[in-house]
Amino acid sequence: MLLVFGKNQLCEALSIDFFSRSHGITDAEGRVLQGLCAGLPPASIASAAGVAVSTIRTHISSIRGKTGASSISHLMNRIATLPPIVGAALSRIR
């Protein structure tokens, strides 16, 4: 028997949080990671945060260093392939 679990979005919020905590990502870096997972370009993340794009790029570089990701797409793929934590958490509550 094969079970297939679908996701409502590329990166679930709890998956991002779990991934961040597992890799020692700071709160500021976590917000950048959430923006990237939402499909926002670095310039949009910077504008929303009220910081320079160079600051966002520094956070991205730090995130990649902490996770060993070779690129942003590699990073997104790693998070997107995590099990659907939200669905598992909700099913246990019911």
Show me where the domains of the chain are located.
13-93
CATH 3.40.50 fits 13-93, yes or no: no
pTM for the whole structure: 0.77
Full DSSP string of 44-79: HHHHHHTS-HHHHHHHHHHHHHHHT-SSHHHHHHHH
The one-digit pLDDT tens for each residue of the chain (94 residues) are: 655 455 455 677 888 898 999 999 999 999 999 999 999 999 999 999 999 999 999 999 999 999 999 999 999 988 888 876 655 444 555 5
In sequence order, what are the residues at sequence separation of 6 or more whose Cβ sits closer than 8 angstroms to the Cβ of residue 66? 23, 24, 25, 29
